Structure 1
Amino acid sequence: MPAPKVLISDALSEAAIQIFRDRGIDVDFRPELGKDKEALAAVIGLYDGLAIRSATKVTPKILAEATRLRVVGRAGIGVDNVDVPAATAKGVIVMNTPFGNSITTAEHAIAMMFALARQIPQADASTQGGKWEKNRFMGVELTGKTLGVIGCGNIGAIVADRAIGLKLKVIAYDPFLSPERAREIGVEKVELDGLLARADIITLHVPMTEKTRNILSAEALARTKPGVRIVNCARGGLVDEVSLRAALDAGHVAGAAFDVFVEEPARENPLFGHPNVICTPHLGASTNEAQENVALQVAEQMSDYLLSGAITNAINFPSISAEEAPRLRPFVSLADKLGSFLGQLTDAPIKGIRITYEGEVAGMNTRALTSAAVTGVLRPFLAEINMVSAPAIARERGIVIDEVKRAGGDSDFESVVRITVEAEDMPRDAAGTVFHDGKPRVIEIRGIDIDAAFAPHMLYVRNHDKPGFIGRFGSLLGEAGVNIATFNLGRETEGGNAIAFVAVDGPVGPDVLDQISAIPQVKRVRAVSF
């Protein structure tokens, strides 16, 4: 099997490039492609991985040409330059490095607070201009002030920690911040209105989403404490820039320090030119340490995925550790094939999919297995579905996904995966396991015990357990030139309902299926493929 091939289309350090090479990955370093969409589209089909910073735009057009692409790695936290829904639909994992530049960004926010409080850039420009305006630059102390942190995730928590060390009181608005976590990091959890009313300084540390866009709108700014100072080192668009300029002009907001803007590069901006505004050109992650950290991290993450299937810091898929990946791989195959089998038997609209994990598999990382099962079930209806896109597609179509875990069970097997497809006509279910050889097997269909390996071409037959079926069935296939590879049988009771799961060496045509259906004992026959 040839080595995976990675394209680096933005500036990454030589150490990161060397990580790919040391791991046995074929890597091309072509940073000029990040700003040349046509040239990137022309070559992207040659690569399994794409490593980027912020210059490269991973658009649907680029993804349409990326026939081999399996992973996009963003050296940094923001993935605004990647069309994540389009990548998800294509089955491409999108990774970022959310922790590599956290300290650097947090330190920049703290630096901006000091710069605002003491008007350092303005005082510097004045002094170097030959003026000595000591009385003009009257600052404020940070000690004892209330800092309002909007978004207390990784970076916000670091800012809070540094601010507490500087003797500020920290209040935080974050719907996902638990009371326990708030106590642990020493902040007071508040609602947004409370933060606006109490904070002397507000710093933003949330991603850009439809819910956070203009979180500091004109109305929100009007509810802030008079004399507030606002710091934004997160994302442009979190603050209504026009309304903020008006609040600055009116004196309601005492000052603002921005590292990010709605339009970047920011050649013009409503905030520019105001004497109480400090601006930097998106420097939050711009330290040597951070740039090196995120580059090395993305190289390690992409290498782990391409070589072992381990998934770390993915935006659109659950994480799988390097230790988990080898154990999960055969169960992923089982879940996919078992789901595919049931999907191929189902013609009616699907309402829900229930996946039950029994035994040792219940203790594994089952989110990836559930994605595989849903993919298998829906693939007969949606040819382009994949493990990355399956959960989102199921939600869009109103299909309820139910995951059940049972550490113990009545089965004789160490691990059992059981899938039930709830369709409008009737439920269908099957169970399987992975033997010590790593090969997935079906162990139960419709409550009937069976032992069958999957094969590329198979026939599934429901029949009455009556003499003559096997002979007539084998004769029909023989007459049609279809060779039987394996023949697996199961039945409820003697003379009752029975099933046959038969591996054949090639596809079976509709005319042969019609002849099998005509056998008196046969209730249903279906050709399935894996």
Structure 2
Amino acid sequence: MVKVLISDELSPAAVDIFKSRGVEVDIKTGLKPDELIAIIGDYDGLAIRSATKVTAKVLEAARKLKVVGRAGIGVDNVDIPAATGRGVCVMNTPFGNSITTAEHAIAMMMALAREIPLADRSTQAGKWEKNRFMGVELYGKTLGLIGCGNIGSIVADRAVGLKMRVIGYDPFLTPERATSLGIEKVELDELLARADFISLHTPLTDQTRNILDAKALAKCKTGVRIVNCARGGLVNEDDLKAALDSGKVAGAAFDVFVTEPAKENVLFGNERFIATPHLGASTNEAQENVALQVAEQISDYLLSGAVTNALNMPSVSAEDAPKLRPYMKLAEQLGSFVGQLAEANLTKVMIEYEGHVATLNTRPLTAIVLEGLLRRQLDSVNMVNAPLVAKERNIEVSEVKHDREGDYQTLMKVTIHADKVRHLSGTLFANKNPRVVEIKGIDIDAELGPNMLYVTNEDKPGFIGRLGTVLGDAGINIATFHLGRASAGDDAICLVEVDGPIPAEVAARVKAIPGVRQATPLKF
């Protein structure tokens, strides 16, 4: 039974899902870093929110850990490079609190437009300052969205309903998508110059950090109003304070801050500033949704291999996972086969997909080929970290899909450039049984067993008998025997399944048979 730790507060519904799926679950919240490190080695999965910090030290102690699931969007509290390096899948739940966060941004924008928090405090103090609070309408105003992904697109929809003009800056927003959302796609400088309101909906990266600084704010309309319900650090807080004090910015409303909890901040105390304590996802519905989603995603990954909303590996839907499973075995075998033959200087890998497999989600298969290829050198490699390991070793990886019809309904071909250029192809028989069907351009039909002997030789009479004699004298029983050759008297290959491991001295005696060029024991 797989075991999951919940280390932050989650809805009880998450526990129910884990238990209903047959996953053992422990709830231990409020752990200090040393306490988490002391126990994390017992768990296959970790479910968190924002409080738990999954650092490199935590991951180093997590010997069994396969997946970290963040109930929410932000994963600033997870060391993703360290997780990837250790082969741990990192997931989030980007859709569970999207509506809630988008609604909070709209609420903040309305509060800014009508100065509602300040008017509330004044009225409750008995002042009745009706003429003091002269707001602005949202109708007809231009809303500039920095980031038009999941949450930004919901904000756009609501803003269009309020009869606002919506412009958006997002390098990944296609013109077609912008049109469907009712957004005019613009560059950042144009957005800054035209927007009456600016709302940020982008992750915090090296490219987006301080995207609104003094230089950017100077390009804005005088009287612009800014909303940030995305990530602290997108707006330079010191520069914004200066812009508020000068009147360049008429108001700002933030739900997120560079330092949280934000007990002190340079923006606090300014009448033009509205603050909430990171409430974007704080509704009953959102908390329930993200808890349910993270429990389902972790369970699916641990039990079936389905990958949803992963940040460091290709996604595999629950629907695709059963279709891909036979191909995963084939991919691992092909990668392992060529990996065991490559002696040194691996520089390039090409994986080609033809027929039915070319219609599937092949990115996970490519990762598994790399896993099989690299496992001979690294015991800790898996499909999560294999692409990273290949990149770190300057191995060029390419993936090619062919529309052409071939001899097989479905075919995978792996080519490597190492000490030599080597390639082999495989298919599925009956849509489930992996078979090798070509090695170095020579046709063969072989099912791979746990222990194999791969031999290349000159096609001359007597070879099979001599090979059988060497194996028989060593007490090695042959399970299956597969032959292939380019043409009579030319290069030939022999792939033999045996009942146990082949000792190095036996492989050496096989290699000493006249006409043998290579004799390599293989394990699968």
TM class by smaller structure: over 0.9
Normalising by structure 2, we get a TM-score of: 0.97
User: Match for 1:9 among 7, 29, 34?
Assistant: 7
User: Match for 2:507 among 513, 525, 530?
Assistant: 513
Matches within 5 A, 1:161-200: 161-200=157-196
Which deviates further from its counterpart, 509-518 or 452-461? Answer: 509-518
CA distance in 1, matches of 2:76, 2:240: 24
**Structure 1 position 517, deviation (Å):** 1.8
User: Match for 1:493 among 480, 487, 493?
Assistant: 487
CA distance in 1, matches of 2:319, 2:141: 47
**Structure 1 position 478, deviation (Å):** 2.8
**Structure 1 position 482, deviation (Å):** 3.0
CA distance in 2, matches of 1:437, 1:258: 55
Deviations 1:8-67 (A, max 9, x none): 11111112211111122222222233xx22222222222221111111111121112222
Aligned residue in 2 for 1:356: 352
The letter for the 2-side match of 1:244 is L
CA distance in 2, matches of 1:200, 1:408: 53
Aligned residue in 1 for 2:119: 123
Matches within 5 A, 1:30-45: 30-33=28-31, 36-45=32-41
User: Match for 1:311 among 298, 307, 311?
Assistant: 307
Aligned residue in 2 for 1:338: 334
CA distance in 1, matches of 2:312, 2:445: 36
Contact (CA 8 Å) 2:354, 2:406: kept in 1 or not? no
Matches within 5 A, 1:23-172: 23-33=21-31, 36-172=32-168
Aligned residue in 2 for 1:419: 414
Aligned with 1:31: secondary structure? coil
CA distance in 1, matches of 2:478, 2:58: 45
Aligned residue in 1 for 2:445: 451
CA distance in 2, matches of 1:234, 1:437: 46
Aligned residue in 2 for 1:481: 475
Contact (CA 8 Å) 2:451, 2:522: kept in 1 or not? yes
CA distance in 2, matches of 1:361, 1:203: 43
Deviations 1:130-171 (A, max 9, x none): 322222222111111111100001100111111111111111
The letter for the 2-side match of 1:369 is L
Which deviates further from its counterpart, 383-392 or 479-488? Answer: 479-488
Matches within 5 A, 1:186-265: 186-265=182-261
The letter for the 1-side match of 2:101 is T
The letter for the 2-side match of 1:365 is N
Which deviates further from its counterpart, 294-303 or 145-154? Answer: 294-303
Which deviates further from its counterpart, 370-379 or 503-512? Answer: 503-512
Aligned residue in 1 for 2:456: 462
The letter for the 1-side match of 2:151 is I
What residue ranges of structure 2 are gaps of 5+ in the alignment?
A: none
Aligned with 1:302: secondary structure? helix
Aligned with 2:312: secondary structure? coil
CA distance in 2, matches of 1:420, 1:8: 43
Deviations 1:390-433 (A, max 9, x none): 2233334333322222344331x32211111123x431100112
Aligned residue in 2 for 1:275: 271
What residue ranges of structure 1 are gaps of 5+ in the alignment?
A: none
CA distance in 1, matches of 2:357, 2:134: 65
What is the number of residues matched between the two proteins? 524
Aligned CA distance change for structure 1 residues 43 and 251 (closer, same or farther; 3 Å) = same
The letter for the 2-side match of 1:421 is I
CA distance in 2, matches of 1:487, 1:145: 77
Deviations 1:54-103 (A, max 9, x none): 11111121112222222111110111111111111222221111111011
Aligned with 1:99: secondary structure? coil
CA distance in 2, matches of 1:489, 1:73: 48
Contact (CA 8 Å) 1:363, 1:407: kept in 2 or not? no
The letter for the 2-side match of 1:476 is V
CA distance in 1, matches of 2:141, 2:320: 47
Contact (CA 8 Å) 2:326, 2:431: kept in 1 or not? no
Matches within 5 A, 1:285-296: 285-296=281-292
**Structure 1 position 114, deviation (Å):** 0.9
CA distance in 2, matches of 1:474, 1:211: 64
Runs (4+) of structure 1 exceeding 6 A deviation are none
The letter for the 2-side match of 1:446 is K
Contact (CA 8 Å) 1:89, 1:386: kept in 2 or not? no
**Structure 1 position 518, deviation (Å):** 1.7
**Structure 1 position 257, deviation (Å):** 0.5
The letter for the 1-side match of 2:294 is V
Which deviates further from its counterpart, 229-238 or 516-525? Answer: 516-525
**Structure 1 position 322, deviation (Å):** 1.6
The letter for the 2-side match of 1:478 is G
